[in-house]
């Protein structure tokens, strides 16, 4: 693979009607042959804004971020987006990067807490901002997005916060960070070195307009009472609102008499494995925010990283596999009533006393699945190439392989020196036939 020298271092409602319009075709995401390219996606993905102007709420924060990146030059302080989950921090960063022609490199600080890890991931980007070719063939303009930066602190901080603070002092590329809160002492130090932009929950009146527009596009009818309950329960969290509304529109009637969806993925996984009974484990799952795919992915990545005995890991993986089959069936057939079984199926794999902590790979759930099923080929590639990257095989798979795939997809590197099997797997990861 040529140019390796660079790559080595870069690396629901009471009595209301919730139904489809009479005589209308199935909602996008159904199994009909003429389904749109977004078929099978959650509403929160299908109706994700495509430009920063089309976002809902937090107008001042959006305007401030646009002005910040428009005027960015070397040495300008990073931007810090602070606000509760579901208010659009990640979407805002992605869209503003796209608007100004930047390629965004993202890391999740909750999973990257050590000094060496922060330095290994961000240091090379700061020193080699033009390492990857952009769409026009010239050097890419790089922007770094650090999500959940407030998650780097606490007892699990192994020098990552100090390493990040040093990088923030003299940024050579634009840096945008996102945090749910900046109240901790270490976050206050990061906030002092940043331009802080605060986001709040989206007001109910805007949520109502957003929900009605999405429902109309889906051909779904949500009664006034259900609409009020969906908006009230979401508490300004757009993703939560869409997940609940889609469940209602597709025939699943969740209990909306109590508050739910209050735990993050990390909190939910921790509560699941700390539970002493399967019932308590199921309650932990029901309290997790995010769509079902994210829940399955969080459990999967945590289990495969835990080093459990084979028999115990197999029990959990069987439950996760069965839940994934159910989720796939829901996406293919839009039988949302099946969603009521998902948490019970996952809880069936629970066993008290397992030492499992939340772990999140820096790659998506679909890519994790490919890593699993193409495991032998990817492990062989990792054993061959990891030494050249001064990395372990697992680090090569979770960190470097996605970058190589992105570079191959952009035509920025040549992998002709790889053997045929290795070329095939890299091309598969890059989405090239």
Same structural domain for residues 19 and 134? no
Same structural domain for residues 110 and 152? yes
Domain count of the chain?
4
Structural domain includes residue 359: no
pLDDT at 94: 93
Structural domain containing residue 308 = 265-347
Structural domain includes residue 1: no
Same structural domain for residues 181 and 221? no
User: How far apart, in Å, are the Cα atoms of 228 and each of 85, 242, 259?
Assistant: 20, 13, 14
pLDDT at 62: 94
Token pair 């989206």 in the structure block, residue: 202
Q: Are 261 and 240 in contact (CB under 8 A)?
A: yes
Check residue 102 and report its DSSP letter: E
Same structural domain for residues 112 and 155? yes
Q: Are 20 and 220 in contact (CB under 8 A)?
A: yes
Residue stretches of the chain with pLDDT short of 50: 1-39, 113, 129-138, 154-158, 257-260, 362-363
Same structural domain for residues 213 and 194? no
Structural domain includes residue 157: yes
313-329 pLDDT per residue, tens: 899 999 999 998 888 88
- In which element (H, E) is residue 225 found? helix 224-234
175-192 pLDDT per residue, tens: 999 988 888 777 888 888
Same structural domain for residues 193 and 92? yes
pLDDT at 89: 92
pLDDT at 367: 54
Strands (E), 18-140: 18-20, 79-82, 102-108
pTM, entire model: 0.53
- The domain boundary residue, chosen from 283, 318, 347: 347
Joined together, the tokens standing for residue 364 give 């998506």
Joined together, the tokens standing for residue 14 give 């009471």
pLDDT at 70: 94
Q: How many helices (H) and strands (E) does the chain have?
A: 20, 7
pLDDT at 157: 44
Same structural domain for residues 304 and 379? no
Strands (E), 298-365: none
pLDDT at 361: 56
CATH code assigned at 184: 3.40.50.300
Token pair 């993905």 in the structure block, residue: 45
Same structural domain for residues 131 and 99? yes
123-152 pLDDT per residue, tens: 666 655 444 444 444 455 888 898 888 776
pLDDT at 19: 38
Mean pLDDT estimate for the chain: 75
Joined together, the tokens standing for residue 255 give 């209990």
Structural domain includes residue 357: no
pLDDT at 79: 95
């Amino acid at each position: 693979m040529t140019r390796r020298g660079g790559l080595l271092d870069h690396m629901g409602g009471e009595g209301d009607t919730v139904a489809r319009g009479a005589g209308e075709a199935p909602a996008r995401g159904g199994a009909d042959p003429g389904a749109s390219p977004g078929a099978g996606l959650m509403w929160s993905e299908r109706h994700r804004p495509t430009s920063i102007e089309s976002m809902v709420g937090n107008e001042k924060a959006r305007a401030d971020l646009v002005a910040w990146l428009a005027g960015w030059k070397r040495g300008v302080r990073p931007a810090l987006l602070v606000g509760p989950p579901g208010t659009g921090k990640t979407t805002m960063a992605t869209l503003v990067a796209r608007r100004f022609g930047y390629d965004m490199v993202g890391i999740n600080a909750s999973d990257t807490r050590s000094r060496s890890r922060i330095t290994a991931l961000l240091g090379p980007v700061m020193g080699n901002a033009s390492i990857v070719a952009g769409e026009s063939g010239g050097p890419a303009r790089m922007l770094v997005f650090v999500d959940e930066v407030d998650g780097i602190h606490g007892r699990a901080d192994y020098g990552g916060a100090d390493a990040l603070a040093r990088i923030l002092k003299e940024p050579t590329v634009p840096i945008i960070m996102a945090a749910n809160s900046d109240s901790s002492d270490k976050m206050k130090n990061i906030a002092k070195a940043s331009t802080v932009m605060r986001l709040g929950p989206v007001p109910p009146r805007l949520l109502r307009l957003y929900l009605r527009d999405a429902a109309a596009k889906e051909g779904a009818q949500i009664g006034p009472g259900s609409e009020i309950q969906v908006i009230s329960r979401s508490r300004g969290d757009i993703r939560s609102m869409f997940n609940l509304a889609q469940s209602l529109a597709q025939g699943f009637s969740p209990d909306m008499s109590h508050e739910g969806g209050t735990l993050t993925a990390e909190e939910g996984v921790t509560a699941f494995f700390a539970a002493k009974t399967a019932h308590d484990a199921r309650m932990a799952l029901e309290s997790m925010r995010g769509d079902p795919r994210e829940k399955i992915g969080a459990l999967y990545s945590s289990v495969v990283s835990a080093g459990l005995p084979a028999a115990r890991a197999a029990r959990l993986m069987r439950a996760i596999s069965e839940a994934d089959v159910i989720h796939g069936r829901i996406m293919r057939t839009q039988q949302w009533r099946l969603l009521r079984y998902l948490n019970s199926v996952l809880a069936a794999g629970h066993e008290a006393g397992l030492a499992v902590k939340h772990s999140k790979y820096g790659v998506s759930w679909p890519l994790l699945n490919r890593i699993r099923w193409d495991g032998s080929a990817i492990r062989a590639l990792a054993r061959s190439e990891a030494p050249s990257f001064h990395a372990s095989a697992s680090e090569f798979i979770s960190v470097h392989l996605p970058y190589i795939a992105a570079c191959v997809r952009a035509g920025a590197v040549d992998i002709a020196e790889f053997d045929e099997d290795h070329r095939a797997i890299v091309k598969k990861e890059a989405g090239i036939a």
